[in-house]
Amino acid sequence: MSRLIVVSNRTVAPGQTAAGGVATGLAEVVQRNRGVWVGWSGEVGPQREAQEHDAGDYTLLRYDLSEQEHAEFYNGFANGCLWPTLHGRDDLLDCQEGHLQTYDAVNTRVAGLIAKATDAQDRIWVHDYHFLPLAHALRERGHRGPIGLFLHVPFPEPEVYARLPGAKRLLEQLLAYDVIGFQTRRDRRNFARSAREQLGVRRHDTRLDWGEHSVLLEHIPIGIDADNFHRLATGRKANEHASRLQEALRGRRQIIGVDRLDYSKGLLHRVRAYGALLDARPELRRQIEMLQVAPVSRGGVSAYQELREELEQQVAHVNGVHGDIDWTPLRYMNRTLSRSALAGLYRGSAVGFITPLRDGMNLVAKEYVAAQDPEDPGVLVLSRYAGAAEQMDAALIVDPFRAEDCAEGLSRALLMSRDERRERHGELYSDLCRYGVHWWARQFEEALLRIAQSRDADASVEAPDADYAMA
């Protein structure tokens, strides 16, 4: 039986367990399959040999990045070119000479490590935009087993994608995968359109045929472990945080936003929308507060440094215009919090205000819903451009580019009757339980298995009968 190999930019550290989110789902899959999990160690510097760790039920294989790889592969092509393009922000493209070559070179190096540690028939599940050419590089090393990619981020409209340096070649390389999983139908459609426009590849239902090779395009939205997160939100530690919060709020109702400090998350627009709410509904002043948690992310990329400065200015502006000696309308924290602290803060907040300008899925929206008290839940105000909006239509869906629309959504959420809140929450929560992170992982795993089985079947049909061959 072939093994399952998972490849993702980040892995858990040796000796640690996954602390939630996607990592939990991946850890469960590699454990169950007694497979191998390959990824970056997080170390930058002179490269050691890749390190293999025995993680009990599976093997962890981690590699370092050199200074140059970190600057040109990670900060450069992956986060300075691919990330903005895939999020429809080609105006922020920062592609420099040599970055694409280093991106290719890292993929080639990682393919070499994988080829050494695995069997040519193993099933390989690759994650995200750091590894678009990996299947191609693995095929060049003779890998024959199924290789799938799950794209955690969106895929943009063809006109935007076409502006990426090396766009056509990357698309060709992507077609070396056997299956590509997307968060939404829109992403899958956009990908198929780019393949048609740039390579003339036609889509047959969910399949693209490229010469002799077929690629399956699957729509498999990622979820969370909702029950588990709900338990966390009602646990002792989360309760302590929720109580501290209630004390600080002194009867005011809280609107919460939690995001990595990233321009795709719409933080500037969100703060502006909150200001618009305070302008439009002066009676809400002192009745509400907003908390925005946004830990710094990718500090090595210039667009992120600028965003941080602009956001700080805007937060100060809203507080300057609307605040009073005994009321700070908007609090802003740059810290990473523990899962239980986060769960407690979600549970203690009347509104989850999650308004990315583009987001593959957005797990915060799902965590906010899972953390709520079903008897007296808060309301999710969600951007129509989060992948999550395709599934979570019982949330209040808003346009993050329109401050008045967001302000209107917030106001509706704050005034919503308890019955309506319970009804909407019930609908959202039952979907979260049905389509959780383990469901997601199983769907992808089964897609890879089906490919492996159909290849085995083809091989047995094609293999000449032994006696006949000898005759």
Q: For 267-299, b where at least 16 C-beta lie within 10 A, e where not — what string?
A: bbbbbbbbbbbbeebeebeeebbbbbbbeebbe
How open is the CA angle 143-144-150, to the nearest 5 degrees? 80
Position 254 contacts ligand ADQ (CB under 6 A): no
Applying CB under 6 A, among 21, 112, 165, 300 the residue interacting with ligand ADQ is 21
Give the x/- contact pattern for ligand ADQ in 121-160, rule: CB under 6 A.
Answer: -------------------------------xx-------
Q: Is 90 a catalytic site residue?
A: no
DSSP secondary structure string, 122-134? Answer: -EEEEESGGGTTH
Applying CB under 6 A, among 162, 249, 280, 337 the residue interacting with ligand ADQ is 337
Q: Which stretch binds ligand ADQ (CB under 6 A): 63-71, 196-204, 205-213, 362-370?
A: 362-370
Distance in Å, CB of 78 to ligand ADQ, minimum: 13
Q: Give whole-number Cα distances, 280 to 123, 285, 287, 311, in Å.
A: 56, 10, 14, 22
Distance in Å, CB of 365 to ligand ADQ, minimum: 8
Q: Which stretch binds ligand ADQ (CB under 6 A): 163-171, 173-181, 336-344, 419-427?
A: 336-344
Position 441 contacts ligand ADQ (CB under 6 A): no
Position 187 contacts ligand ADQ (CB under 6 A): no
Nearest to 20 by CA among 406, 445, 436, 460: 436
10 vs 281, which CB is nearer to ligand ADQ? 10
Applying CB under 6 A, among 359, 408, 431, 445 the residue interacting with ligand ADQ is 359
Q: Is 359 a catalytic site residue?
A: yes
Can you name the residues that pair with 123 across neighbouring β-strands?
4
Q: Are 314 and 268 in contact (CB under 8 A)?
A: yes
| Interatomic CA distance for residues 394 and 427, integer angstroms | 7
Q: Are 71 and 79 in contact (CB under 8 A)?
A: no
Position 39 contacts ligand ADQ (CB under 6 A): no
Nearest to 324 by CA among 289, 276, 353: 289
What sign results for the dihedral spanned by CA atoms 238, 243, 248, 252?
positive
Q: Tell me which residues in 291-310 interact with ligand ADQ (CB under 6 A).
A: 293, 295
Distance in Å, CB of 298 to ligand ADQ, minimum: 11
Residues near ligand ADQ (CB under 6 A) are: 21-22, 152-153, 222, 258, 260, 293, 295, 336-337, 342, 359-364, 367
What is the set of active-site residues?
A: 152, 359
